Chain A
Amino acid sequence: MSKYAMVIDMDRCVACHACEVACRSHYDVPVPYYRNWVHDLRPEGVYPDIKKVSYVGLCNHCDDAPCVKACPTGATYERKDGVVVVDKDLCIGCGLCIEACPYGARYINPVIEKVDKCDFCIDRVEQGVEPACVATCIASARIFGDMDDPDSKVSQLIANGAQPNVSEKVNVGPNIYYLDSHGNFPVVQAAFPPKLPHMPTPQKMWTKVLRPLFWLAIGGTFLGQLVAFSTQLFKGESDIKE
């Protein structure tokens, strides 16, 4: 079995946004949404010690994905190869997964009114073609491959110190790794830290208060009629008396 992952080599990225464009054109992603993005941070420091960093991001295909847990219908699920995908037929566009995602990798596509996000171009990968962003990258800054294969380039890069974007608070097992030798990754992490998964008020109310109450009510009425019916079986029936 394979387990797909991607390494972003920050040392090689020139922030040309070609990956973003390739993805947008391949999947008709409407502006201003992204399945895959390059966020350019403002230059930092004073000349000549200037640093300009870009955050290259996409869905992290987390092992313990909060979006999968948040999806009410199971439209978002994790494939056996670790790729987190959305069954658009089953999605009702409730946006709970968007609130849960620590990386802001999901959006509601206003055209189809359902959620959309990076799926590692799984249709291409299954045909043996690299994802669109990887294929188009002019500097080979994106490396896609199988983590279960120890000889793959991603396995070697991860072994050589590529790191995922996690914090002490939020670590849900992301599978996008960043390679960096110029101290740029901490800048990205400071600017785009993973968010804690968030559950909206109505769902909290349902889970914490309403669902237990309804369980009690349903259990109560069910038991009530069960007792009444058992008594009736025991005593036998009599039609209208008086």
Chain B
Amino acid sequence: MGQRISKLNDDIALDHDLLKGPRHLTFDEKRILANRVMKKHGVGGVTLHWVNAISWFLLIFTGTALLSASYLQFAPDWYINMMDGIFGTRSAMLHFHIAVGVFWVTTLLLYGIFGYKNYLLDFIKHDLTIDKDDINWFPAKAKNLAGKLSHYQMPAQGTYNAGQKAYAVVVAFSTVTLVITGPIMAFHIGSTTIIQWAMMLHFVATMSVFAGVFVHVYMAALFPEERPAFFSMITGKVNELYAYLHHYKWWKEIKNEEHMFFAEELKKDGIHLPELEQCKNIKDHQAHVYNIEEK
């Protein structure tokens, strides 16, 4: 067996040890994990995120400037006047708001219809499904931020942590509300009573997302520990150290799949790794790895 294959066998042996459960890492282990990358988002997911972000940005900036009645007003007068000045007339701004909204809804529908398996179901499975670890995560995160709990002692998290999931739930409900109420107002669907309720729900949905966006942006772009998440929204990749510490359950899932893939590919080349030898399918692999723990 060549040197490189032997190195792969060592890597897999380390994986198998770490798959037993989250634990304190040695410096050498940290160094190894920090130099490996894992794919977190596909091109479609990254594109959707930024189309969504840019659309929200444009819609919030024009939407708040459209509300000039004092009892609904959100933005200060100077801001509304400035936006009127940029767009020339307020009706031009309304048409822009509707056009961006239509573009946004169309994009979401394209992903929802053609990508329902890869994006919609995936989003529901990874972002909206909550388990016990997610509920325990909130008090643990508070302790962690206070410096009283280290990462490997936190409840293991999936693709997204409970905080991200909570915001995803708000965003999902708001998105559905906006997709329904927006066209009601833009295309005058239904009686005036329906339009009046749609208007109120439109504001509620928007402001629910807006209230969380500061935390979302801060956590992703500015907070040092979560910064790999921000770059993963550009490159689609995260380093394994981050994945292991912050998203252990997801890391485990990917590792299991990766090992199966290795086993099959190596078999084609006629190479047998002692560490992968006993695995014939993914269940087999998991049984093999987790049995080590039981023994």
Contacts and interface: CB of A to CB of B under 8 A. Distances in A.
Interface of A: 69-75, 87, 89-90, 92-96, 98, 108, 113-114, 199-200, 202-203, 205-207, 210-211, 214, 217-218, 220-222, 224-225, 228-229, 232, 237-240, 242
B232 to A, nearest CB: 14
B245 interface: yes
Given A218-B210, A229-B218, A73 B199 contact: no
Interface string B205-239: 00110111111011000111101000000000000
Contact of B204 (A71, A95, A203, A210): A210
B110 interface: no
Interface residues of B, number: 52
A179 to B, nearest CB: 35
B90 interface: yes
B67 interface: yes
A218 B211 contact: yes
A105 to B, nearest CB: 16
Contacts of A113: 188
B70 interface: yes
Given A202-B199, A210-B204, A95 B214 contact: no
Interface in B160-206: 185-186, 188, 191-193, 195-197, 199-201, 203-204
Given A73-B67, A218-B210, A242-B245, A93 B215 contact: no
A72 B30 CA distance: 57
**A73, A211, A221, A239 pick with most chain B CB within 10 angstroms:** A73
Contacts of B94: 73, 89-90, 92
B188 A90 contact: no
A116 B52 CA distance: 36
B113 to A, nearest CB: 28
Interface of B is mostly: helix
Contacts, number: 133
A240 B196 contact: no
A84 B212 CA distance: 40
B242 interface: yes
**A94, A96, A228 pick with most chain B CB within 10 angstroms:** A94
Contacts of B185: 92, 94
B188 A240 contact: no
B192 A69 contact: no
B6 interface: no
Contacts of A211: 72, 74, 203
A225 B211 CA distance: 11
A227 to B, nearest CB: 10
Nearest to A70: B69
Contacts of A224: 214-215
